Amino acid sequence: MSQEFKDITALSALTLGKMIKNKEISVEEAVRAQLNTIKLREPSYHCYITLLEEEAYIRAAEVQKLIDAGELSNSPLAGVPMAVKDNICIKGMNTTCASKILSNFVPTYEATVIEKLKQAGAVIIGKTNMDEFAMGSTTETSYFGETKNPWNTAHVPGGSSGGSAAAVSAEEIFYALGSDSGGSIRQPAGYCGVTGIKPTYGTVSRYGLIAYASSLDQIGPLGRNISDCVAALEIISGHDERDSTSVNQQSYQYTKALVDDVKGMRIGIPKGYFGAGLDTEVKESIGKAVEVFKNKGAIVEEFELDAVDFAVPSYYVIACAEASSNLSRFDGVKYGYRTPEFDGLQDVYKNTRTEGFGNEVKRRMMIGAFVLSSGYYDAFYNKALKVRAIINQGFQKAFDKYDILLGPTAPQTAPALGESLSDPLKMYLSDIYTVSVNLAGLPAVSLPCGLDKKGLPIGLQLIGKHFGEKEIIRAAYSLEQSIGYTRPTIQPSEIRKEA
């Protein structure tokens, strides 16, 4: 690969957008550079399920005309290549949810976030890999094969938005969309050394997002820095009448919060986040970040967060119950995969779902059906809802005193491939710091704050009150100014190819 293409794909999304507007780079050149990088690195990382190469060049020409005509002058990301997690519908393009049962599904409609991105001049390069139906924390449950961590290909990228996070980290895309039901944007962002934002529930329309757990799912951006993420978040945020959970907020001017100033900001650290199970190197790295905030004038205190120890079991009961209901529509009758061998309707249902769903999806659907069943509803599901309310109350109490909360994104850095799948309970526990945010519908951001001794990224999480995105953005930007962004080392095989 030429140095010119390498330099283009290493740029931030906003920098590239500015260069396109200034006529320093054409949209077609940016797309060509990105696709060349993808073709070289994709065999190592497998970030994508579907590449939209022909469509990207056609779109590049369309966007270039709009830019030249001055019609996208207020869009900072116009012409910048981006990617979309493969559970977000694009009209006329395969949307698989990384599952065999949807491997041939082509939506006849567009997700609201896709409509907004296209209006802003986005060029979609492809659909990224993920855990099947967003059920997993490693991107190993995909029907199309596992994604690997660009920092070390023997390790997972996290999940379920692991393809999006790995693509941003590997410079296979400038920014990407993911979805977050219990940490599925933030945890892979932490594992891959990039930034990811999970916005307040209802801030971004879920219309066109294939549901895992409807009361928890939220679409959000991943980028190499907080500024890129904020620019994308401003584009996709907003009320949508097609989504009954969409909130009618008047202003989403998040870029105004990109200021290096946390003086007087009150930051709370839940004591339970730093107990047993937290890796020592992660704890030390978070501690150094805390000192940065203190040196910049922030007020940092520890406090007790109610019911946080019960967040993981509460989350998995609720999420699996909702998944059991949401995935009942995939039966081989209406769309998607249908078993070739059946004798009657019952066989169609049974064989299609047996052959079409992976083991993790089946496990969660069975758990969901169990906790919703007669005799167990009160013992499990209803109790989980009560715990959810207590967790929400605990957060509200904390935000009476603090502007934001701080903690690790995950208890350890990225585990080795295969390690989590052999122990599902361990995989579930990796979400211990992220699931409570979804249960309460709060906004949160994960950003890199260091590396462990293996050279793997460590993620730090900042949590805000409802619609408190501007506070966590300001804190993230301030920390980023002090610690910067570190690129992963390209694998030796790719260095030879690109030399």
Catalytic status, residue 85:
yes
CB 456 within 8 A of CB 151: yes
How many angstroms separate the CA atoms of 365 and 368, rounded? 5
| CA distance between the termini of the chain | 7
Which 3 state secondary structure label does DSSP give 407? strand
* Catalytic one of 75, 85, 127, 314: 85
Residue 260 identity: D
Q: Is 23 left (phi over 0), alpha (psi -120 to 50) or beta?
A: left
CA 87, 104, 97: angle at the middle one, nearest 5? 20
* Catalytic one of 160, 227, 430, 436: 160
Helix pair angle (280-295, 469-483), 10° resolution: 100
Alpha-carbon distance values, 385 to 145, 370, 389 (Å): 35, 16, 6
Based on C-alpha coordinates, what's the Rg of the chain?
A: 21
CB 169 within 8 A of CB 150: yes
Pairing of strands 175-179, 404-408: unpaired
For residue 183 the two structure tokens come to 């940490």
Residue 279: DSSP 8-state? -
Report long-range pairs for 316-319 (Cβ below 8 Å, ≥24 apart). Answer: 316/364, 316/367, 316/428, 317/367, 317/371, 317/380, 317/381, 317/383, 317/384, 318/213, 318/215, 318/216, 318/381, 318/384, 318/385, 318/388, 318/439, 319/181, 319/182, 319/212, 319/213, 319/216, 319/364, 319/368
Tokens 């940490």 -> residue: 183
Pairing of strands 123-128, 81-85: parallel
Which 3 state secondary structure label does DSSP give 11? coil
Question: Dihedral angle at the C-alpha atoms of 191, 195, 197, 198, nearest 10 degrees?
Answer: 0
Q: Is 209 exposed, middle or buried (0-12, 13-18, 19+ CB in 10 A)?
A: buried
Helix pair angle (311-326, 383-399), 10° resolution: 120
Residue 263: DSSP 8-state? T
The residues with which 209 forms a beta bridge, in sequence order, are 88
Catalytic status, residue 179:
no
* Catalytic one of 184, 314, 420, 436: 184
CB 432 within 8 A of CB 391: no
Catalytic status, residue 26:
no
Residues designated as active site: 85, 160, 184
